[in-house]
Chains A and B, each alone.
Chain A
Amino acid sequence: MSSISSSSSNVRMDRRFDWVGPPDNISKIRKIMLRRVDNESELERQYRQAREELNQWNSDFWAEHNQLFDRQKSEFVEKKQAALGRLEHVSANELSEFYRDFLNDRHAAMMAYNKEWYRRNLQLIWPALKVNVVRFFRMARK
Chain B
Amino acid sequence: MVLCSRLGFTPSTSTAVFHTTTTNSVLPRAKPLDEEMPTSGRSVSKKQRPDTQILDLSGKRHKKDIDIIVADQYLQQWYKMETKSLAADYLALCKSKLSLFVASTATCGFLMAPVPVAAAPLAAATIGTFLLSSAANSCNQLLEAPYDAQMRRTQSRVLVVHRFSPLHAFTFAGVTGLTGIGLLAYYANPLAAALGALNWFIYAVYTPMKRSHIGCTWAGAVVGAIPPLMGYSAATGYLDPAAWCLATILFSWQFPHFNGLSWNLRGDYSKAGYRVMCVTNERLCRVTSIRHSLALLGLCSIAAPLTDLTTLTFAIDSLPVNAYLVYLSYKFYKAPDAKNSRRLFFYSLLHLPLIMLLMGISNYGRNEKQKEPIVERITNGYTSMVESIKSLTA
Q: Measuring CB to CB, which residues of chain A are less than 8 angstroms from any residue of chain B? A: 8, 10-23, 28-30, 32, 35-38, 58, 61-62, 65-66, 69, 92-93, 95-96, 99-100, 102-104, 106-107, 110-111, 114, 117-118, 121, 124-125, 128-129, 132, 138-139, 142
Contacts and interface: CB of A to CB of B under 8 A. Distances in A.
A65 B57 CA distance: 40
Report the interface size class on chain B.
35 or more
Contact of A99 (B70, B142, B150, B279): B279
Most buried by A among B18, B30, B279: B30
Nearest to A40: B30
Interface stretch (B159-167, B236-244, B314-322, B379-387): B159-167
A16 B28 contact: yes
Interface in B13-37: 18, 20, 26-32, 36
A16 B74 contact: no
A14 B56 CA distance: 11
Contacts of A21: 74, 77-78
A17 B32 CA distance: 13
Given A100-B280, A114-B208, A121-B142, A28 B149 contact: yes
B78 A69 contact: no
18 contacts: A8-B72, A10-B71, A10-B72, A14-B18, A16-B28, A20-B81, A28-B149, A32-B81, A38-B31, A69-B270, A92-B266, A92-B338, A96-B282, A100-B279, A111-B211, A114-B208, A114-B212, A121-B142
Nearest to B163: A20
Interface string B258-283: 00000000110111010100011110
Contact of B271 (A17, A69, A93, A138): A69
Contact of B28 (A58, A69, A104, A138): A138
Most buried by A among B20, B31, B149, B281: B149
Contact of B66 (A16, A19, A92, A124): A16
